[in-house]
Amino acid sequence: MTRMGNGVAVARREARSVGGDSEAPPGYKWQVLLVAGTGIFMSTLSNGIVNVALPVLTREFEASLVLAQWVVLGYVLCITGLLLPAGRLADMRGRKEVFLGGFVVFAIGAALCTFAPSLPWLIAARVIQGIGGAFVQANSGALITQAFPPNERGRALGLNGSFVSAGALTGPIVGGFITAAFGWRASFLAILVVSAIATPAGWWMLRRSPVKPGQRFDLAGAALFLLATGSLMLALNGGSVAGWLAPGTLGLLALAVVAGGAFVVVERRVAQPTVDFAMFANRGFSTAVAAAFLSFMAISGNVLLMPFYFQYVLHEPPDTTGLYLIASPVTMMVMAPLGGWLSDRSGPRMITAVGLTLEVAVLASLATLAVDTHPLAVSAMLVLMGVALALFNSPNSNAMFSSVSPSHLGLVGGFQALSRNLGQSLGQTVAGVLWSVGTLAVAGEVSSATQASPEAMMAGFHLAYGVAACLAGAALVVSVVARPRTVRVAAAPA
C-alpha cells in the first residue's frame, strides 16, 4: 500500500457515506473532467481576453486607464471574495447545480458585456461574470475529486491544471486575434456562445451531487469575508498608484483587518459557518493551503517583472517577448498531469518537495540575471519554472482535497482558488515594490524605476527575485516539515 493507502481507504468509506460517485457508469469521470475543465478554461480565458482588449476599450469609451482597469479589477475582486461562500453553497445545495449555475451567470455577464453601451455598464457586467466565475472556480476541483477514485485524483487534478494553463496561455492570443479582426465585443460573444453550449451539455452529463438536509447559509460570514478580501485587494491594487501611506490605502487596509477579525468571531459562533476552522487542525489540509499560498506569492512576481526584463534590459520587442514568456505556461500545461500521476503513485509529500526545491533553484538563478544574459537562457529557466510548478501544484491540490471529508470538497475548492488568487495579488504587489525600491536605490536622479538604466534595473530584479526565492524556500520548509507522511481524512460533520 502506498503512503496514501490509509487515506484511500478512509476516503472511499467517506465517499460511500455521503453518496459519492463510486457507482457511476464507466467513463463518467472523464465526462466530469471535460465539463469541469471547460468551466475553468473559460474562466481563465476570459481574463486574458479582456487584458488584451483594455487599450481598445480605453480609446473607444474615451476613459482613463485607472477607470478602464476596473473591467479587470471588478472581475477579480468578485471571484476572490466569493470563492469560499461559493464553495460552501455548493456543499449545501449540490455541486452540479452551483457549478452550472455559475456557467449561466457567467454567460449572462458575457451577454451584457457584448452589448455594453458604456464603460460603467461593462464594469457592472464583468462583476456579474465574476460571480459566475467564483461558482465555477470553487467547484471544478471538487467535482473532479468526487468523480475520480483516490488513486487517480492526482492525474485528474493535473489535467484540470492543464485546462487552467491552456486558458491563461490562449486568452491573450485568442483575445488579440478576435479583437483585431472583429472588435472587442466579439470576444465576449464567443464566450457567450461556448457557455450557451456547455451549460446544457453539463446538465445532461453531470450527476446530481448529494446534499445534507437542514443546512443554513452563513450570510453574515459570507458578507464579512467579501468585505475583508475586497478591501485587501483594493488596497493592494491601488497602493502602488495612490501611495502606500495614502489615507485611502491605509483606510482599506484597516477595513480589511477589522472585517477579517469580525469574520473570525462570527465563524466561531455560528452553528453552520462558511469556514469550519476545525479543518485547519488537519495538518494535511493546512499545510497544503499554506504551501500553495507561499508558492504562488513567490512565483507571481515573475509575471509582472519578466516582461520588463526582456523589453527594458534585453531590448526585445513585445512580440518576441510574448514568445519567450509562454515557456512556463506551455510547460505547465504539458507536465501537470505527470505531476499528478506521480503523486498518485508515491504520495504528494515527496513530489511537492521536489517541485518546490526546483522552484527555489530557478528563482535563485533568476536573481543572478545580468544585462547580457541570452534570452534563450532565460527562457530555459522559465521552462524549468513550469516543470517546478507542475510537480508542485497538482500533487499539492491532491493532498488538499484528499485530506477532507467529501462533504467539504466545495469549501476546499474555494480555498484552493483563494490561495492562488491572494498569493498572486500579494506577490505581484510585493515584487513591484521591491523592484522599484531596489532600482531607485542605485538609479540616481530618476522619478520612476522604468526610467532608470538597465544596470540600475538589475539591482531591483536581484532584490525582487532574491525575496521570491526566500518565499519559495519557506513554502518548501512548510511542505517538508509540516506535511504528514500519510493522508488523514477529516471526519464528516454531524
pLDDT in tens, 92-138: 888 889 999 998 999 999 999 999 999 899 999 999 999 999 999 88
The share of the chain scoring above pLDDT 70, in percent, equals 92
- What pLDDT score was predicted for residue 307? 87
CB-CB contact of 347 with 2 (8 Å): yes
- What pLDDT score was predicted for residue 3? 41
426 vs 446, residue with greater confidence: 426
> From CA 233, how far away is CA 235, in angstroms rounded?
5
Position 198 pLDDT exceeds 90: no
Poorest-pLDDT segment among 118-132, 182-196, 206-220: 206-220
- Pair 73, 195 in one domain: yes
Map the chain to HEC letters.
CCCCHHHHHHHHHHHHHCCCCCCCCCCHHHHHHHHHHHHHHHHHHHHHHHHHHHHHHHHHCCCCHHHHCHHHHHHHHHHHHHHHHHHHHHHHHCHHHHHHHHHHHHHHHHHHHHCCCCHHHHHHHHHHHHHHHHHHHHHHHHHHHHHCCHHHHHHHHHHHHHHHHHHHHHHHHHHHHHHHHHCHHHHHHHHHHHHHHHHHHHHHHCCCCCCCCCCCCCHHHHHHHHHHHHHHHHHHHHHHHHCCCCHHHHHHHHHHHHHHHHHHHHHHHCCCCCCCHHHHHCHHHHHHHHHHHHHHHHHHHHHHHHHHHHHHHCCCCHHHHHHHHCHHHHHHHHHHHHHHHHHHHHCHHHHHHHHHHHHHHHHHHHCCCCCCCCHHHHHHHHHHHHHHHHHHHHHHHHHHHHCCCHHHHHHHHHHHHHHHHHHHHHHHHHHHHHHHHHHHHHHCCCCCHHHCCHHHHHHHHHHHHHHHHHHHHHHHHHHHHHCCCCCCCCCCCC
- What pLDDT score was predicted for residue 72? 81
What's the mean pLDDT in 474-488? 83
pLDDT digits (tens, 9 = 90+) for 427-463: 888 888 888 889 988 887 777 787 888 999 999 999 9
If you average pLDDT over each of 20-34, 117-131, 304-318, which comes out highest?
Answer: 117-131
Q: Is residue 212 part of a domain?
A: no
- Pair 358, 241 in one domain: no
- What pLDDT score was predicted for residue 24? 66
- Pair 159, 94 in one domain: yes
- Pair 372, 232 in one domain: no
The share of the chain scoring above pLDDT 90, in percent, equals 32
- Pair 486, 379 in one domain: yes
- Pair 224, 323 in one domain: no
- Pair 199, 328 in one domain: no
Q: How many CA atoms lie within 13 A of 387 on its CB side?
A: 13
Q: Is residue 123 part of a domain?
A: yes
Residue 295's pLDDT band (cuts 50, 70, 90): very high
Structural domain ending residue among the three candidates 248, 273, 298: 273
What's the mean pLDDT in 75-80? 86
Residue 487's pLDDT band (cuts 50, 70, 90): low
Q: Is residue 213 part of a domain?
A: no
- Pair 261, 310 in one domain: no
- What pLDDT score was predicted for residue 463? 95
> From CA 400, how far away is CA 487, in angstroms rounded?
9
177 vs 31, residue with greater confidence: 31
What's the mean pLDDT in 463-478? 96
Q: Is residue 4 part of a domain?
A: no
CATH number at residue 73: 1.20.1250.20
pLDDT digits (tens, 9 = 90+) for 403-417: 888 878 888 888 888
The structural domain count of the chain equals 3
Residue 8's pLDDT band (cuts 50, 70, 90): very low
- Pair 285, 265 in one domain: no
72 vs 269, residue with greater confidence: 269
- Pair 309, 382 in one domain: yes
Q: Is residue 226 part of a domain?
A: yes
Provide the mean pLDDT of the chain: 85
Q: Is residue 7 part of a domain?
A: no
Domain that holds residue 237: 219-273
- Pair 366, 492 in one domain: yes
- What pLDDT score was predicted for residue 51? 74
Residue whose C-alpha cell reads 513554502 in the numeric block: 475
Q: Is residue 289 part of a domain?
A: yes
Q: Is residue 299 part of a domain?
A: yes
- What pLDDT score was predicted for residue 12? 43
Residue 67's pLDDT band (cuts 50, 70, 90): confident
Poorest-pLDDT segment among 213-217, 253-257, 283-287, 411-415: 213-217
Structural domain ending residue among the three candidates 177, 206, 235: 206
Name the residue among 393, 415, 76, 89 with its Cα closest to residue 222.
89
End-to-end, the C-alpha distance of the chain in Å comes to 30
- What pLDDT score was predicted for residue 382? 94
Structural domain ending residue among the three candidates 228, 251, 273: 273
- Pair 313, 340 in one domain: yes
48 vs 390, residue with greater confidence: 390
If you average pLDDT over each of 18-22, 276-280, 291-295, 445-449, which comes out highest?
Answer: 291-295
